Structure 1
Amino acid sequence: MSFQCQRDCYMKEFVTSVVSCCPAELKQEVNGKKETLKGFNVKLQDTILFPEGGGQPDDHGLIGDVPVLRVTRQGAEAVHFVCSPLEEGLEVQLKLDWDRRFDHMQQHSGQHLITALAEAMFGFKTTSWELGRQRCSIELDTTSMKPAQLQALEEAVNEKIRAHVPVTLQLLSIDDPAVEKVRSRGLPDDHAGPIRIIDIQGVDANMCCGTHVSNLSQLQVIKLLVAEKGKKNKTNLIFLAGNRVLKYAEKCYSTERSMVSLLKTGPEEHVEAVDKIQKSVKILQKSNLGLLRDMAVLIAQNFKSSPQRGPFFTLHKKEGDNEFMNIIATEIGTEETLVFLTVGEEKGPGLFLLAGPVDAVSAMGPRVLEMLQGKGAGKSGRFQGKANSLARRGDVEDLLRQHASREQ
């Protein structure tokens, strides 16, 4: 397998021809929702759009003026998913989304460099890696990585970048003895064509299908963010390479400026200032809870002492919690009184409690739950839960008031 994108990772435009175009579907996730897109799978004579593989995502780009939404590999062929059909035999011009490609090249070459030096310096072998949209992760076969090791590894990879180490490509036949001497995690079952070797001069030679920079200097810089505990006694090393480091620094600086404006302190005092705010908030929350509990008792006592008290009591309060509602119900006493309480936004989500005679609550609880579009359960004269919408709270009150009057 060797596409034009693998022979020349820097080619941004390319003329080729359409070999086939067949109806197809693409399953994708948009804004957290899965959807199926109808379109066409297009095979070309050759391509500069990399099909996903080796831990690297696929390229985006254009075939003529038709956007390519996905590129996958089927054996020795690349399949391009598009929404508009293309005529077989048609000569077309490919245009590559270069910003996306170069980002992938930086991250992928960065991973090779980190992987090679982590093994050479500490014996930590790479078992897998992920090129994420914002950060990359290398899974290392070690239970932990000490801060001093993380710092030493970061210094070592950036020293190689400053040394302008060349990165070259070799294409070898599968029976070439040299193949046995390079690092590899094995070939895919449907591999076809020559073996592709990425050689970081004097550092690492690795079997790989992905796209890479031609010199480590093009990585600019690598930042190792953290080494955290992974699955099955492994360690996940999170890193950024190249332009992602610059974007990360810009984002951090923007956040720092916002924090300076909000906290009215310099960056070196932010942690102390936030710690003070958090402690103050905890004190205020504790005080507020105490006031709510006292208010709950007073509300119940006021109802009990009223000459006009009836068989039904209802109350809505924006602030409050389950304990607040339960205190009111307990203080009122629900052997003879039907109590309906809610907290939260007036027409938004919230909490509810229905308490009263066991038979009344058992009969009305499910209906209240349905009207509030909620989830909950009840027993022993209490039915409570979460409401997705309190918009029909008034209707629930009318229903319960009528029921309480009939039972009186």
Structure 2
Amino acid sequence: METDKLYYKNQYEVEFEAVVRKSEQDNAGHYVVLNQTAFYPTGGGQPYDTGTLNNIRVFNVEEVEGEIRHYVEMPIELNVKCIGEVDWNRRFDHMQQHTGQHILSAAFDNELGLKTVSFHLGKEICSIDLATDHVTEEELLKIEEIANQVILENYPIESKWVTEEELRNYSLRKSVSVSENIRLVIIPDFDYNGCGGTHPDSTGQVSTIKLLHSEKQKQLVRVFFISGKRVRKQLQEKHQVIQRLTALLSVPQEQMEEATSRILLQGKELEKTISDLKTKLTEYEANQLIEQGEQNNSNIMVKHIYQNRPISELQNLARMISQKTSNIVVLFINETDNKLQLVCARGNDLEMSMNQLVKQILPIINGRGGGSDTIAQGGGEKLIPTERLMEEMVSEILS
């Protein structure tokens, strides 16, 4: 197939001439089909190429129903001659990552007998899923060493088209998924694999491979890695972060972990201290409110209006007051910029229901809420003055 041969075999071809044979639109946008192309469509775990056709941006390339659709920012007329240009930086990055995957997959298979189940070429990081539930750190370091030795020795990378019958002449890492137009990518004496992706001419052009980390994925292990220019980019980014952290922590890089652990421990201790102090402040506030409470027959009523107080704090305060005094009723209202919130609680000796109280009051402010017989809360719109809402709550208690 002429189109396939162009973008597979001339993978260093970034500029080409073509003619528009189809110009239509689908759900993904306007697209054109060319008589030949150097653009690689999404496939085999490798993303599509981008670039331009007559200086019109190509933002996606997909193979749909046997045709390669170039999605463009604006329509191009039928039979127009085009100068196509592939974004080489993106293409070469994909070549490095994809070949890095071939090398790693072969190393895992050859050294540990672990098969690669899937491959993902991400914008920043790549990953492969291995058919195992455990890989040690020592094994990962060994595979990384083997992969970079393959790069250092600069093996040639060959690609060839073969028939189904010719496959028996090669020791393939995995079976191919097609029976026609079979393309093999070969690193002699190391990896033989059916693949339609783009790859450089030699392993040395991958430059380097770095395994980042691994994680368990159900019955698989996912290994994250980067190749080529991405290694330098990540190194630079991480170095800049470390430089900023060394300045912030005032420690050299080798002491950063210890310093960070110390700061985290201090933070936890401070959080506990703050929590204890908040509890003491709440208890002090609760005692003050109880002392200021209004006597009503043999019961005590505590009522207070707050401004922009966290509702969780008012719930804790109301609960503490009701636990300290068994014959007490607590009525709190919190006023914010656009709503009114209320918290109601009672001591254990009283038989009234706080849940019933808030459900009777909340319709006045078009509110919602609820709770239990001992404590309830809710909120609604500022339809009446706050003082009026408090009067309604007191009246309901006394009725």
For the aligned pair, the TM-score class normalised by the smaller chain equals 0.7 to 0.9
> 2:12 pairs with 10, 13, 16, which one?
10
CA distance in 2: counterparts of 1:300 and 1:10, whole angstroms: 77
Q: Offset at 1:337?
A: 3.4
Q: 1:361 to 1:225 in 2, by over 3 A?
A: same
Structure 1 residue 265 and structure 2 residue 265: aligned?
no
CA distance in 2: counterparts of 1:368 and 1:251, whole angstroms: 54
Aligned residue for 1:33? none
Question: Per the alignment, in what secondary structure is the counterpart of residue 117 of structure 2?
Answer: strand
> 2:189 pairs with 202, 212, 220, which one?
202
Q: How does 1:179-198 map to 2 (within 5 A)?
A: 181-187=171-177, 194-198=181-185
Letter of the structure 2 residue corresponding to residue 205 of structure 1: Y
Q: 1:18 to 1:292 in 2, by over 3 A?
A: same
Percent identity of equivalent pairs: 27
> 2:355 pairs with 355, 358, 370, which one?
358
Q: 1:337 to 1:147 in 2, by over 3 A?
A: closer
Letter of the structure 2 residue corresponding to residue 361 of structure 1: V
TM-score by length of 1: 0.82
CA distance in 2: counterparts of 1:160 and 1:77, whole angstroms: 37
Q: 1:219 to 1:291 in 2, by over 3 A?
A: same
Q: 1:369 to 1:3 in 2, by over 3 A?
A: farther
CA distance in 2: counterparts of 1:69 and 1:406, whole angstroms: 68
- Structure 1 segments of 4+ aligned residues over 4 angstroms from their partners: 177-181, 307-311, 364-371, 392-399
CA distance in 2: counterparts of 1:271 and 1:203, whole angstroms: 40
Deviates more, 1:77-86 or 1:282-291: 77-86
Aligned residue for 1:104? 94
CA distance in 2: counterparts of 1:369 and 1:56, whole angstroms: 56
Equivalent residues of 2:18, 2:34 under 8 A apart: yes
CA distance in 2: counterparts of 1:148 and 1:96, whole angstroms: 40
> 2:30 pairs with 37, 40, 52, which one?
40
> 2:63 pairs with 70, 73, 79, which one?
73
TM-score by length of 2: 0.84
Q: 1:164 to 1:331 in 2, by over 3 A?
A: closer
Equivalent residues of 1:365, 1:378 under 8 A apart: no
CA distance in 2: counterparts of 1:40 and 1:306, whole angstroms: 74
Q: Offset at 1:400?
A: 3.7
Q: How does 1:4-403 map to 2 (within 5 A)?
A: 4-26=6-28, 39-178=29-168, 181-187=171-177, 194-232=181-219, 234-306=220-292, 312-316=303-307, 322=312, 324-333=313-322, 336-340=329-333, 354-356=343-345, 357-364=354-361, 378-380=371-373, 382-383=375-376, 397=386, 400-401=389-390, 403=392
Q: Offset at 1:378?
A: 3.0
Deviates more, 1:222-231 or 1:86-95: 222-231
CA distance in 1: counterparts of 2:134 and 2:231, whole angstroms: 24
| Root-mean-square deviation over aligned CA pairs | 3.2
In structure 1, the gaps of 5 or more residues are 27-38
In structure 2, the gaps of 5 or more residues are 296-300, 346-353
Query: Comparing both chains, which one has the higher relative contact order based on Cα–Cα distances under 8 Å and sequence gaps of 6 or more?
Result: 1
Q: Matched residue pairs, number? A: 377
